[in-house]
Amino acid sequence: MSDTRPRGGPAHRARSLGAALATLALAAGALFTPAVAHAAPAEPVASTDAECRPDGLYPTPGVDVPYCDVYDTDGREKLPNDLDRRVIGYFTSWRNGSNEQPEYLVDDIPWDRISHINYAFAHVGPDDRVSVGADTPDNPATGMTWEGLTPDPELDYEGHFNLLNTFKKDHPGVKTLVAVGGWAETGGYFGPDGERVDSGGFYSMTTTSTGVNHAGIETFADSAVEFVREYGFDGLDIDYEYATSNNGAGSPDDFWISDARRGLLWEGYEELMRVLREKLDEASAEDGTYYQLTAAVPASGWLLRGQEVHQVVQYLDFVNMMSYDLHGTWNHFVGHNGALYDSGLDPELSAVYGAYNGIGYLNADWAHHYFRGAMQAGRINLGVPFYTRGWKDVQGGTDGLWGTSALPDQTRCLPGTGVNTPCGNGADGIDNLWHDSDPVTGGEIPAGANPMWHVLNLENGVVGDYVDDYGVDDGIVGTYERHWDDVTKNEWWWNAETRTFLSGDADRTIQAKADYVADTGLGGIMIWEMAGDYDYDEDAGQYVMGDTLITSLHETLSDAGPYGARKAETEAPAEVLDVDVEFHEFALGDNNYPINPKVTITNNSAAEIPGGSKITFDYGTSAPGNMGDQSGLGLTHLQIGHSRSDNIGGLDGDFHRARITVPGWQSIPAGGTFTFNLNWRLPIAQPSNWRVEVGGTEYAITYDHPREGTVVDGPDDGGPGGEGPGDGEPGDCTAPAWNAQSVYTGGNRVSHDGREYEARWWTQGDQPGTTGEWGVWIDRGSC
C-alpha cells in the first residue's frame, strides 16, 4: 500500500488524522424509539449484559449484546496493563522498510503500556467494501514478511495483520481496531501502481447525488463485519475526513464530490454509523465477543459547525478527538500544532472573536467541552501529535509564536490553500523530515513535519544518520531553542537564524495533557502516530524511534482513577418517558451562523405531556451561555457553566442548563410532536440530559439512552383524580398474581408485591421487580 499524504487545506481548519506526517494520510432488548425509528426484530431477546452498557450508548433493539465482555457494571471499559484510562496508538502501514527508511513494526509497539492499537488504514473499495488492497506479497497488511518476525502459520494471511494477532496472544487485553479512511483515502484509494483512484470513497458510499446511498452503506457495513471477523480485529474506527457541510473541507482531491454533495454528507454519515452499530452489535451477539465502533473526530470549531449537533455520538463507544493540526501552512498564521488551552493571542482567531463571544475554538479543552455536552467524559479521548508542524522566515510574534509566514509567491499555493488567507511558507529540507509528496512535482510539500525524535536531534545540533534515507541532504544552520507556553501548555522550537518555528508534543506537553485527562475524567489519550515516539541511543549519540512518551503516559494514566461514566451532572430521574428529539433544517457550512435549527420533540408514550410542562436540557460550554429560542417558549437558564468573557486557560464547567415551557394552551399528545427553534453561536454537540417535568414529577427521556430509570407509559399530570398510567390505590390489583411456574408472553400482565408488571416477551421464572430497566418485566406502577 502506498504512503498516503496530505495536500493542504484552507484557513480555520483542523487537519486530518496524520495529515502532517505520512498520512495523507445500547442495552439490547430496550424497546425505546431511537432518534430515527427502525423496525426491530419480531422476537426481541433480553440482554443479560444490560447493566454493562455505557450511559448514552445506543441499544440495538432486540439484540443480546455482550457488553460485559468489554465493560464493567458501571459501564466503564475494562482496560489492560493496569491502565485506568485508554492509551490508543495509531500504527501505520507504510513504515514497513520497503522504502529503506526506518521501520516501525509490530514488535516495536509497547504492548505492555497501551490499551488499543488502531491500524491505519483500510479504505472504501470500488465495490463499497472495506479493503486494504490486493492480497499480494508486497501488501504490508496481509502479504509482507520481515526478518526476525515469525508469522502464525495457522493464519491464511501474513503481513501486519498476522503479527498483530500473534502478539495479541501474549497481550490479550490490548484491543486492535482497523481504521478506515484517513486524509488521502476518505475519498479514494491507491491502486496497485501506487496512483490514487478518485472513486469517491466515503462520499459516494454514503450518498448519491440526491440522497443517502442505503445500498452502499449496507454493503460496506456487511463487509466491515466480515473484515473484523476474518482478520481478528476487535472493532472498527471510522476516519471519514470530513462529513461536513463546509465548502473546501477535507482533501482538495475530493472537492469534486465533497463540495457538490455537502448538503447530504451528514445525513449519510449518520445512517452509516447507525447501520454499523447495529450490524456490529448483531455480530457481537452471534460471536459472544463485543466489537467496538469508534471514530476520529474533528476538534476545530470551523469543521464542527458543518456537522450539525454530532448526532452520531450515540452509536460510538468513544470518540478520538483530532486535537492537533490546529495550525499549519494551509494559512500564514503561526501557532501551536496541538494547543491544550486558548491563550487569547491566536491571530487566526482574533478577526472572529467578536462573533464568538471571545471563546477560542482551536484547542483541545474547547473540543473536549464540545463533545462533553453530548456524552460522558469517559467516552472522549484527547488526541496528541507525536510530530511537528512548522514555518520558515517567520515574521513577528514571540520567538516566532503568533507571528506570520506567507509563501512569497502566492501563485504557488497548494490546492485548497491561499483562498481566504495567504498560504504559509512551510519549513522544508532538514526541518521537514517526514515531508509530504507534491502530487504534481513529486517534490516535498514544505510543512515542518517531523517525528519528535528528529526534532530533539535538531535541538541537540545532531544530524541523524537517517537523513539520507529521507532524501534530506542539507545540514543544520543555526540553533534550535525549545520554548514553553505556560497558558496553552505547549512546547515549540525556534531557530532565530533561519526564523524557523516547529511545534509538537514532547515530554512536558505530554505530561500536561496526561494530567489534564486524569483531572477531567476523560477516557484517555489517542496518539498519531506511535512511530514519532523516541528513545536516546547512547552509542549512536542521537534520538531514535522509541517509547519514552508512551511510558510517561502509562505512568500517569495507570494511576488516574476511574474515568467519568455518567453523561449528566444531575441525578437521574427514577422514571423515563419514551420521548424522542430530532434536530433539523440546519443552514449549510459558513451560513450556519448563528446556528438556528428546528427541534422536534416526539411523544411516543401513551399519555399526553400537558401544557405548562417544563422541559430542561444541558448544552456544552463550548458555546457561550446565551442560547435563545424563537418560538415564545420563554427559554431561561438555570445554570451557566462558563461565565467569563473568554476561555483563556480553559473553560470553567461542562454544562449550561436551560429550560423551556410547553405553552399552556398546547400539549404534546401521545404520538404527537412539538416543534420549536433554538439558536446559539458556537458549535455544540447537542442539547442533552433532557428532563420533562409534569405535575411536579421529573422524567428522563429515552432519547438520551439512560442507564438508569424505569420506562413508564406516560407522565402523571398530578391533577385532581388524575392518576398517571399504571397508578392505582394499593389493594386494587386486578391482574393475576405472578407464579414462578407459569409461562408469560409479551403483553401478559401480573401483580406482584403491590405493583403491576407487563411482560415484554416470553418468560418463565423471572421475578418481577428484579429484571432491571431493560429486562422482561415493565413496571406499570402500584396497584
**Which whole number is the average pLDDT over 416-432?**
94
CA–CA gap between residue 94 and residue 434 (Å, rounded): 12
Bridge partner residues of 714 (DSSP): none
Inform me whether the pLDDT recorded for 527 exceeds 80: yes
Report yes or no on 26 lying in a domain: no
- pLDDT for residue 476: 97
Radius of gyration of the chain (CA): 27
Inform me whether the pLDDT recorded for 44 exceeds 60: no
- pLDDT for residue 466: 97
Q: Where is mean pLDDT largest: 16-25, 202-211, 588-597?
A: 202-211
Q: Comparing 452 with 35, which gets the higher pLDDT?
A: 452
- Is 717 found in the same domain as 741? no
Report yes or no on 258 lying in a domain: yes
Tally of structural domains, the chain: 3
- pLDDT for residue 19: 32
**Which whole number is the average pLDDT over 497-505?**
98
- Of 684, 699, 723, the residue that ends a domain is 723
- Is 539 found in the same domain as 659? no
Report yes or no on 437 lying in a domain: no
**Which whole number is the average pLDDT over 447-458?**
98
Report yes or no on 548 lying in a domain: yes
- pLDDT for residue 13: 28
Inform me whether the pLDDT recorded for 729 exceeds 60: no
180: enclosing H helix or E strand: strand 175-181
Report yes or no on 6 lying in a domain: no
Q: Comparing 761 with 536, which gets the higher pLDDT?
A: 536
Inform me whether the pLDDT recorded for 446 exceeds 60: yes
Share in percent of the chain as helix, strand, coil (round to 5): 20, 25, 55
Residue 214 banded pLDDT, cuts 50, 70, 90:
very high
Inform me whether the pLDDT recorded for 9 exceeds 90: no
Q: Is the peptide bond before 242 cis (omega within 30 degrees of 0)?
A: yes
- pLDDT for residue 104: 98
- Is 123 found in the same domain as 192? yes
- pLDDT for residue 443: 85
- Is 613 found in the same domain as 730? no
Pair 725, 783: CB distance under 8 Å: no
Domain extent at residue 144? 50-390+506-557
- Is 598 found in the same domain as 532? no
Bridging pattern class, strands 697-701 and 655-661 = unpaired
- pLDDT for residue 773: 57
Q: Is the peptide bond before 594 cis (omega within 30 degrees of 0)?
A: yes
CA–CA gap between residue 539 and residue 554 (Å, rounded): 27
Report yes or no on 492 lying in a domain: no
Dihedral angle sign, alpha carbons of residues 442, 448, 450, 456: positive
- Is 613 found in the same domain as 751? no
Pair 49, 66: CB distance under 8 Å: yes
Q: What confidence tens digit (pLDDT) does each residue in 78-123 have? A: 999 999 999 999 999 999 999 889 999 999 999 999 999 999 999 9
161: enclosing H helix or E strand: helix 159-168
Residue 309: what are its φ and ψ, rounded to 5°?
-120, 35
Cell of 54: 455505557
**Which whole number is the average pLDDT over 208-236?**
98
* DSSP of 707-765: SSSEE-SS-----TT-PPTT---TT---SPBP-TTSEE-TT-EEEETTEEEEESS-EES
- pLDDT for residue 365: 98
Inform me whether the pLDDT recorded for 177 exceeds 80: yes
Inform me whether the pLDDT recorded for 777 exceeds 50: yes
- pLDDT for residue 766: 87
- pLDDT for residue 557: 98
Q: What confidence tens digit (pLDDT) does each residue in 350-397 have? A: 887 777 889 999 999 999 999 999 999 999 999 999 999 999 999 999
Looking up residue 738, the CATH number of its domain turns out to be 2.10.10.20
Amino acid identity of residue 483, one-letter, is H
- pLDDT for residue 369: 98
Amino acid identity of residue 526, one-letter, is M
- Per-chain mean pLDDT for the chain: 90
How far apart, in Å, are the Cα atoms of 753 and each of 95, 218, 734?
65, 47, 13
- pLDDT for residue 442: 77
- Is 223 found in the same domain as 114? yes
**What global pTM score does this model have?**
0.87
- Is 694 found in the same domain as 651? yes
- Is 704 found in the same domain as 745? no
Report yes or no on 713 lying in a domain: yes
CA angle 707, 711, 713 (to 5 degrees): 165
Looking up residue 72, the CATH number of its domain turns out to be 3.20.20.80
- pLDDT for residue 194: 85
- pLDDT for residue 14: 32
- pLDDT for residue 732: 63
- Residue corresponding to grid cell 510539500: 445
Q: Comparing 592 with 399, which gets the higher pLDDT?
A: 399
- Residue corresponding to grid cell 448526532: 311
643 Cβ contact partners less than 8 Å away, ≥ 6 residues apart? 625, 652
- pLDDT for residue 774: 65
- pLDDT for residue 731: 45
- Is 325 found in the same domain as 278? yes
**Which whole number is the average pLDDT over 660-675?**
94
131: enclosing H helix or E strand: strand 130-131
Report yes or no on 424 lying in a domain: no
What is the CB neighbour count within 10 angstroms for residue 41?
11
- Is 196 found in the same domain as 345? yes
Looking up residue 605, the CATH number of its domain turns out to be 2.60.40
- Is 657 found in the same domain as 606? yes
